[in-house]
Chains A and B, each alone.
Chain A
Amino acid sequence: MTAFLQSTFNGLVSGAFYALLALGLAVIFGMLRVVNFAHGAFYMLGAFGAYVLLAEAGVPFWAALVVVPLALALLGMALERAFIHRLTRLDPLYNFLLTFGLTLILQDLVKLRYGVQSSPYEAPAGLRGSVDFGLFDFPTYRVFILGFAVAVCVGVWWALARTRVGMVVRAATERPELTRALGINVGRWITPVFGFGIALAGLAGVLAAPMRAVNPLMGADLIIVVFAVVVIGGLGSIFGSVAAGFGIGMVQAWAEAYLSAFPIVAQTIVFIVMAAVLLWRPAGLFGRAEAPA
């Protein structure tokens, strides 16, 4: 029982990263119809941002948690204005190529400066040690990640469900052409929404810095699973991406704990789940079949 709870908890923590990244991808896909292959690179930049700020300027974790996502949002918005929006009218393949190319460039730029070995980053003083849950101890920092990620997801859900901006984003995501015909300048929201999605990736990266190895390829490894999460949740579905993020985190942790006799299954469980979901519901668990324009 203790082992089960512990692996569930670990799964929820991995799921928190999946959820934050998938949420950003979903918001961006919904509004821009762009699958942002560079999302993992921005996650990596988030972690490196925190590392560089601390190592070179002594900026602490808490400040990095605010500054790094904001800076990456600005970078993302600049890239959207400079490149991505030029391609939105073309075949989606061009955007795959563009964002994949951006990934390689960003990864190699970081590699040039910091090499491929992992850089250490310590958890902030207040979040070291562990919390006693009675049946088992759990690292304080992981508890913090889980709480923080849940709060961010709930906050984003609230903003989408309850604010005017959220209503416009939902409308433009569902039916962009109709929304324009009803007097809303959809284009004005595209760049900020892209920046917001990137900020979520950056935030996940900062959160990952004290826990995961900070290296130029950390995003590339993670993003493949995140794409599976997005597909399972339903491409463009906000709720689906978050639910599938936490769900897949847990499934992975359980598979590691209980299927260790079948390492091949344990390592590929995400894709097995994805294939099963797609056979059962081709639009994903919470996805809708493509709506008319």
Chain B
Amino acid sequence: MLRIENLSAWYGEAQVLRDAGLHVDPGEVVTLVGRNGAGKSTLLRCVMGLHTGWRGTVELSGTELGNLSADRRARLGLGWVPDDRGSYATLTVTENLTLPPTVGPDPWSLERVYEAFPALYQRRNSAATTLSGGEQQMLALARVLRMGARMLLCDEPTEGLAPLLVQQVGDLLREAKRHGVTVLLVEQNLRFATSVADRHYLLAEGRVTAAMENSEVRSRERELLSYLGI
């Protein structure tokens, strides 16, 4: 589904990614773990086409993304779930959901979103930024599912959420996976990561330094946590 090879990226003079490589197969949920500043968000931004100053190969379903603009990439089926949840203050909840075009074969209908999230339905005519943090996270995820995106790029969707809401995010990602949606997830919460993902990549100083199965992450949890500084 997604293949990244020799991806290097810079912020001005500073090199953030150094020949990073990974792949995500169709229907997989894969996490990217690493310390703050390891380049995880930059990698997602490169895939989405939002970062300038990069070199390497990014392929989606065999299509080289090259210099395609972000909006073209989204219409190829990439679903963007940014780390700040990306709620629009000047759009209502319903408008936040219906803003993106539908791009995939199996988009959620608005009714289905509201059935799954009664809290969003109740606030459907309010500005999206008036929702709670957890509700805004559900909104961001529901928005890309309503697009029918085939491959989600999620930047720390559980950050700052209460345990119950973390569980809801997990339920939603598992539900998406059951419908064949592929996910690349930046995550610091290892427990959460092993509960939703199939595989994990460790990113350190801009390089992919390890690829791990769930069992390996569980057995190395203490070592990984101390490495991540959590």
Contacts and interface: CB of A to CB of B under 8 A. Distances in A.
Contact of B101 (A167, A171, A175, A183): A183
B108 to A, nearest CB: 15
B70 A181 contact: yes
A122 interface: no
Given A178-B80, A181-B80, A184-B99, A288 B71 contact: no
Given A180-B69, A182-B99, A182-B147, A292 B84 contact: yes
B143 interface: yes
B71 A171 contact: no
A183 B71 contact: yes
A80 interface: no
Contacts of B75: 183
A168 B95 CA distance: 10
A177 B71 CA distance: 9
A108 interface: no
Contacts of A288: 89
Contacts of B98: 167
Interface in B42-73: 48-50, 69-71, 73
A125 interface: no
A174 interface: yes
Interface string B78-104: 001010101011110001001111010
A292 B89 CA distance: 12
B88 A170 contact: yes
A181 B101 contact: no
Contacts of B101: 183-184
Contacts of B49: 181
B84 to A, nearest CB: 7
A184 B71 contact: yes
What does DSSP make chain B's interface, helix, strand, loop or mixed? loop
B74 interface: yes
A177 B70 contact: yes
Contacts of A171: 88, 90-91, 95, 99
A288 B129 CA distance: 13
Contacts of B147: 182-183
A291 interface: yes
Contacts of B73: 181
A288 B88 CA distance: 13
A168 B50 contact: no
Contacts of A173: 90
Contacts of A98: none
A50 B48 CA distance: 49
Contacts of B50: 177, 180-181
A52 interface: no
A165 to B, nearest CB: 12
Given A167-B95, A168-B99, A171-B99, A180 B88 contact: no
Contacts of A174: 88-91
A263 B88 CA distance: 45
A75 interface: no
A11 B104 CA distance: 54
Interface string A202-237: 000000000000000000000000000000000000
Nearest to B52: A89
Contact of B143 (A168, A182, A292): A182
A177 B103 CA distance: 19
Interface in A133-147: none
A171 B89 CA distance: 9
A185 interface: yes
Contact of B70 (A175, A180, A292): A180
A167 B90 CA distance: 9
Interface string A255-268: 00000000000000
The 4 closest A-B pairs by CB, nearest first: A183-B74, A181-B80, A182-B100, A180-B70
Given A175-B86, A180-B69, A183-B147, 9 more contacts: A167-B95, A170-B88, A170-B91, A177-B50, A183-B75, A183-B100, A183-B103, A184-B74, A186-B71
Interface of B: 48-50, 69-71, 73-75, 80, 82, 84, 86, 88-91, 95, 98-101, 103, 143, 147
16 contacts: A167-B91, A167-B98, A167-B99, A170-B91, A171-B88, A171-B91, A174-B91, A177-B50, A178-B80, A178-B82, A180-B50, A180-B69, A180-B74, A182-B74, A184-B100, A185-B71
